[in-house]
Structure 1
Amino acid sequence: MSNEADFTEPARVTFRGQGGIALAADSWGPQDGPLVVFLHGGGQTRHSWKDSGLALAKAGMHAVLLDARGHGDSDWAPDGNYSRNAMVEDLIGVLEQLGKPAFVVGASMGGLTGLIASAHPQRDRMTGLVLVDVVPRPERAGVERVINFLDSNREGFASLEEAADVVSAYLPHRRKPRNPEGLQRNLRQRADGRWYWHWDPAMLSGRGEEIDFHTDPLEDAARQLTMPVLLVRGALSDVVSEEGVRAFRELVPHADYAEIGAAAHTAASDANDEFTDAVVDFVRAHVRTE
């Protein structure tokens, strides 16, 4: 195997999603390693998984970090279609283009995509599923807080510092970074000089009303799960409660479970080392051997 120094930078790749939409991704690690596809949460980008991508590459795994449609460097949907089904078809298309089964790691919105995809006719393209702070029955107040944050500041920010203050207020459990430059991964400066979130606001259309609407199909998908499953919860999360975890584990008795004590809903970013260790251990335990 090549030494880990060969994988300190990702390769930029592009996939085609439903309707031919271009989906940007970073590819980390050896192509012949166990394949792990990462799906970020709403309003995030593939860069939220950067540290995990590097860690998996060093562990000999092939990590693909995908920008969802309307996010990051992926195309915005010309018809405004950001439905769960569209994102599921995007994922299935990406897995087909990758050419071998993959573990799918999804946070929040990405986790819902992965869960619904697990009931897709082509679900055999998935080797296993990691759900990061998402269950079929989330806490409404927590979900609404996330949606309200994403729907705020549509007028943009005068500076990166202003954006950092807003993020810090939204994530009070996390230490505010000394340098806000890292926010440039999630913001773009437009001609007016202001900084705007780098995702399509049309993504939010109807999201608030969908919370209860999707519970039944999500639970149906969970009941059908036979592949290996890992549920990761941030102990400080206001989106996934202990009750929500218990309900999920009743639906999926074979699921593994990991709780990260210092993390909230943004579990992977809050405690990346602990999160990544859990993913690596899960993949190693369930990787298929030919």
Structure 2
Amino acid sequence: MAPSTSQPFSVSSGSLTLRGDHWPGTGDARDVTPALLLHGGGQTRHSWDRTAAALAARGRDVYTLDLRGHGDSQWAPDGDYGMDAFVADLRTVLTDRARRPVIIGASLGGITGLCTLGEDPDLAAALVMVDVVVNVEQKGIDRIKAFMTDHIDGFANLDEVADAVAAYNPERKRPKNLEGLKKNVRLHDDGRWYWHWDPAFITSGQGDEPRRHTDPARLAAAARNVTAPTLVVRGGKSDVVSDAGIENMRELVPHAEIADVSDAGHMVAGDDNEVFAAAIVEFLDRHGL
């Protein structure tokens, strides 16, 4: 089968326009549950491109979405990047779909999916949380925060961008062709490259950023209400999800399944997409989705 190519779509959520890509499934996708892929904080929908193409090639309609303030979605004029805002956006996207999708969310995307289904368990057919749990490891969250805030003032060139990514994830091979980085940064009028997300995402709000997105009390309450099939995909080398965090998820969501991608860190799909995609397909096939 020929590989699927994406088509842009947009959804209005309040005063904001959210943008994403639709990857039409090959064959008769009407018989397969669609998937909605949500990226992590500071990423864009393009972090899912390889996974989306792989799932679409297996006959599944796939949607990748830029969260508010990220990628090509609009920035919040009031700087509202609290969890309530992300949940409201996701509810809008889900109610705009003709069929209930499987939510596959990495980090912030997984948390948003968990909170949304905790409030309305019938909005999605299943939930896949990628390297995120209710009780995340603060040291891992702090390292993500440092990576994001250390480069608020941008980069002189794409080599500096590649160096920053390599420093955060030293086990991932540094790309020789830097053109792919342009999906995550933008060249501004001052001649510097900046991450393609609103700096207010990391600097706004009250309390420890981005801990306000991982409030364990709120997430635990949501987790207890999730009834849909649930899969937690854990990066074996992640510093965000620990053994204790996994055991806590088993207590909160007794029906949750766990998949380990042993050679991956927090950015599971990017680190080992082949194993990651296989784990997703196996889970969905097992549940007839």
Per the normalisation by structure 2, the TM-score is 0.94
The equivalent of 1:71 in structure 2 is: 70
Unpaired runs of 5+ residues, structure 2, are: none
Q: What CA distance in whole angstroms lies between the structure 2 residues aligned with 1:118 and 1:264?
A: 26
Match of 1:12 among 8, 15, 23: 8
Question: Deviation string for 1:106-149 (max 9, x for gaps)?
Answer: 1001011000001223x312110000000111110110110111
SS of equivalent to 1:73:
coil
- 1:100, 1:125 within 8 Å by CA — same for their partners in 2? no
Query: For the residues of structure 2 that align with 1:47 and 1:250, how far apart are their CA atoms?
Result: 33
Aligned match for 1:177, one of 175, 178, 182: 175
Q: SS in structure 1 opposite 2:50?
A: helix
Q: C-alpha separation between the residues in 1 aligned to 2:104 and 2:240?
A: 18
Go from structure 1 to structure 2 and tell me whether the alpha carbon gap of 1:81 and 1:287 turns closer, same or farther (over 3 Å shift).
Answer: farther
Distance in 2, matches of 1:284 and 1:97, equals: 25
2:287 is matched with which residue? 286
Task: Give the counterpart letter for 2:263 in structure 1.
Answer: A
Instruction: Evaluate the alpha carbon distance shift between residue 138 and residue 9 of structure 1 in structure 2; reply closer, same or farther with a 3 A threshold.
Output: same
Residues 58-97 of structure 1: CA distance to partner in whole angstroms, max 9, x if unpaired? 1110110000000000000111111111111111111111
1:26 corresponds to which residue? 21
Q: 1:135-173 CA deviation, whole Å, 9 max, x = no partner?
A: 111110110110111111111111001110111011111
Cα displacement (A) at 1:8: 2.4
Kindly indicate whether residue 231 of structure 2 is the aligned counterpart of residue 230 of structure 1: yes
Cα deviation for residue 218 of structure 1 reads 0.4
Cα distance in 2 for residues equivalent to 1:242 and 1:109: 20
Within 5 Å, which residues of 2 pair with 1:41-120? 41-120=40-119
SS at match of 2:277: helix
Aligned length: 282
SS at match of 2:251: helix
Deviation at 1:98, TM superposition (A): 1.3
CA distance in 2, matches of 1:175, 1:159: 19
Please state whether the residue corresponding to 2:208 is helix, strand or coil.
Answer: helix
The equivalent of 2:200 in structure 1 is: 202
Q: Which amino acid aligns with 1:8?
A: S
SS at the partner of 1:281? helix
TM-score between the two structures when normalised by the length of structure 1: 0.93
Shift of 1:209: 5.0
Structure 1 position 277, deviation (Å):
1.0
Q: Which residue pairs with 2:125 in the alignment?
A: 127
RMSD: 1.5
Give the distance between the partners of 2:251 and 2:122, measured in 1 at CA.
Answer: 23
Q: Secondary structure at the match of 1:269?
A: helix
Amino acid at match of 1:229: T
- Match of 2:119, SS state, is coil
Kept in 2, the 8 Å contact 1:29–1:54? The answer is: no
Identity %: 45
